[in-house]
Chain A
Amino acid sequence: MEQQEFEKCIEQIRLGNKDGLRKIYEEYIGYIYSVVYGILGNKENAEDVTSDFFIRLWNSASTYQSGNAHRAWLSTIARNMSLDYIRKHRREMPLADELQDVSDSQNVEKDVVGEMSVMQALSMLNENERRIVDMKVLGEMTFQEIADLLKIPLGTVTWRYQNAIGKLRRCGYE
């Protein structure tokens, strides 16, 4: 969506016209859901936060400053909301270190496994690695942000990420 079109939609929202929100929704639902899911790692929670995201967008369209890169603005809000969600529901959500390294026991072969679907390749990762890859790729988080969020050292995050990349490479993803 072009910046101008986005601003038009925001203007419509400000005037109470749902069409503006609908257009943004159709354009960005996939992107926002991916970002949120990447950070939360749970479909139900991601749906909740994504819904809240658009409701909040409706209520706070006035805070949008014209001329901003709207995609980054949307992404920032989605990330903020996801992080806030984690903060509020921390007790109910397992930390990375509490997840079990189930896939580790499966031991991906050292040689190239061959072409696999993305989901198959991802299933080769253990929970910790998957979470970090999701946060990095879908959630667009930095390593430092991930380390802060998961409360693990930065080195551990990058190490796990590199491990994940290695496994994905062996599955044919270069």
Chain B
Amino acid sequence: MSKSFEENYRAEMMKEIPDLWDRIEAGIEQTTAEPVPAEKQPVQKQQKSGNVRKSNKWMKILAIASPALAACLFGLVMIPAALVFMVSGIGKDSAMSASDSATQAAGGEAMYEDAEAAYESAEMTDETGGTENRYVAEGNFSYKEETMAGAPAEDAAVQSESETEVSDLFGEVVQAEIIAVTGEEVTVRLEDSLAEQLMLRYEVYPLHDTVFVFALSEENTFVPEAGMYCGIVFEEAANTENGITVRLIENTEQNE
């Protein structure tokens, strides 16, 4: 477009600018009067370190769970974890022994100690084995955690996997639902307000009915909530009343 046209057009537009200040001021007063919801607090303030979160998680487990139920669930948790370790070929021995001890345990504190040790072992193994494995392993453990809280086994599996993995990915900021974990992609569903935060911070926006959307400024941005470099993809098709689905795609090159 020729420069003169653009300049003239913009200048013409400036003549038609409405005065919106009163409206804006009223809007501000309205929002100021309303208390800020917890999820709209700045993200950094709500983040906690991974260690604190993990310790809280286990404390919660110990407080709530009953030993007998835990024994059953522990088996359910450890067997898939052991399979993952065997597939990865790293930490195979430790995973197997953890699985064995899990299935043999009858309940009580000893079992929790084993579980925790195996969890740590799995986590260490997965740090060398790749992100995908880490997600799977942590998902399995979250399954245990939630089921022990008293939910029916299958429902709890789905529900808890989502909640805990989101917690692992986003700290306690995003209490959202994980839709899927596929390879290097983690799909979570965010509430609108949280999606807006991400959009503002990482300059990402959704386009209607498109599966492929993009980050405006950078394809790959370090996302502290996820602890890794990601491309953030808003999947408009999954936008529902529950919020917007966001897919984080790990950039393995940068994370290495």
Bound Cα distance from A87 to B199, whole angstroms = 14
Could you show 30 A-B contacts with beta carbons less than 8 Å apart? A16-B32, A21-B24, A25-B24, A30-B13, A30-B14, A34-B14, A43-B16, A50-B20, A51-B27, A52-B27, A54-B20, A54-B27, A55-B27, A55-B31, A63-B197, A76-B217, A77-B200, A80-B203, A83-B207, A86-B208, A87-B206, A87-B239, A118-B5, A121-B5, A138-B13, A148-B210, A149-B208, A151-B209, A168-B5, A173-B8
Q: Is A111 an interface residue (CB 8 A)?
A: no
Inter-subunit contact B4/A87 (CB<8 Å): no
Inter-subunit contact A79/B205 (CB<8 Å): yes
Inter-subunit contact B207/A122 (CB<8 Å): no
Report which B residues bind A (CB closer than 8 A).
1-2, 4-6, 8-10, 12-14, 16-18, 20-21, 23-25, 27-28, 31-32, 40, 42, 197, 199-201, 203, 205-210, 216-217, 236, 239
Summarize B's interface: helix, strand, loop or mixed.
Answer: helix
Interfacial chain B residues near A34, Cβ < 8 Å: 10, 13-14
Smallest beta-carbon distance B9→chain A, Å: 5
Interface size for A (C-beta < 8 A) is: 50
Bound Cα distance from A38 to B184, whole angstroms = 37
A77-124 interface (Cβ within 8 A of B): 77, 79-80, 83-84, 86-87, 90, 117-119, 121-122
Given A51-B20, A87-B207, answer yes or no on A37-B13 (Cβ-Cβ < 8 Å).
yes
Closest to A89 in B: B208
Interfacial chain A residues near B206, Cβ < 8 Å: 83-84, 87
Inter-subunit contact B201/A63 (CB<8 Å): yes
Given A63-B201, A84-B205, answer yes or no on A173-B17 (Cβ-Cβ < 8 Å).
no
Interfacial chain B residues near A16, Cβ < 8 Å: 32
Interfacial chain B residues near A51, Cβ < 8 Å: 20, 23-24, 27
Smallest beta-carbon distance B223→chain A, Å: 14
Interfacial chain B residues near A18, Cβ < 8 Å: 25, 28
Bound Cα distance from A3 to B197, whole angstroms = 23
Inter-subunit contact B13/A63 (CB<8 Å): no
Bound Cα distance from A38 to B201, whole angstroms = 23
Interfacial chain A residues near B27, Cβ < 8 Å: 51-52, 54-55
